[in-house]
Amino acid sequence: MKKVLQLSFIIIFAAIYSQNISNYEYVSVAAKTGNLESGKYGLSGILNSKLKAGKYEIISDSSESWPDAAKKNPCGVLKAEIEDTSTFLKNKIQVNFKDCSGKTVASFEGKSNIKEYEPGFKDALHIALKTLPASNSVKLAVITETPKQPVAIATEPVKSSSSETQNSSVKTENKAQTFSNGTLNLNRIHISDNQFILASPNNSTPYAIFKESTKKEVYRVQLQDGTQTLGYLENGNIIIEFAHNDGSFKKEIFTQK
């Protein structure tokens, strides 16, 4: 009886915890986690099949080929990582779903009594994904395609004198930098060579999306409410220009902590 109650508690807990990932529509499956390649033993195929059955849309591990909706809201994409957590006696697989800041949203682990690697890993993965919830993307918060009219910037932003140093610090793999304006603490997350975001760890919708313009280190910025403006890098800081009602502008300065 005690074992039945413990098992029931685990299933209920997993169901509650996993509800977070049902808010997402898009999932990219990492090609490799640690020493385990997701394609080995056909594991990525099993995961993709389960995700598609749950109405998730599988997209590339590279953001360059993402659909427009995912590119406009990169924090609406989950990254799935298949990890080998085996012990000496058991084959175990853990599937971790991570958001755009690298935070684990949900984890599913399966254990197999099959000792051979390939059938054991496959069996463990099937067990791990038994409680995977279906996608309910209606709840997914996205930035719409009908933002406010872009603001006109009267003056050209100042070009940073330390561009090469700043650019080299942008590209961080799954490791966010923290910037603050004194009130908000936001993570700067590299999306691609010409795009990054500022995002709160507690919000799936980014505070601001930066896309490189034709001028180096000057970005077209889309804010959380859909407003479009300009942003640029200056002395290691991230600057966003905000328009006042009277047509004047103010600078919001985010400094790295």
Evaluate if pTM is beyond 0.85: no
Looking at residue 175, its pLDDT comes to: 55
Q: From residue 138, how far is each of 22, 77, 146 by CA, in Å? A: 10, 14, 18
Averaged pLDDT score across all residues of the chain: 77
CA distance 232 to 215: 10
SS3 (DSSP) at 91: strand
pLDDT band at 156; cut points 50, 70, 90: very low
Confidence of residue 40 (pLDDT cuts 50, 70, 90): confident
CA distance 98 to 191: 14
C-alpha dist (Å) from residue 83 to 44, 60, 86, 112: 11, 19, 9, 14
pLDDT at 176: 67
CA dihedral 140, 141, 145, 151 (to 10 degrees): -170
DSSP string, 201-242: TT-SS-SEEEEE-SSTTEEEEEETTS-EEEEEEETTEEEEEE
Residue-wise pLDDT for 85-140, tens only, equals: 988 888 999 999 998 878 888 899 999 999 898 899 999 999 999 988 888 765 44
> Does the pLDDT of residue 82 top 50, yes or no?
yes
DSSP letter string, 109-132: EEEES--SHHHHHHHHHHHHGGGP
User: Average pLDDT in the 43-60 region?
Assistant: 91
What is the token pair recorded at 9? 């508690």
Instruction: For residue 35, give the nearest of 86, 79, 76, 1 by alpha carbon.
Output: 86
The token duo for 24 is 């997402």
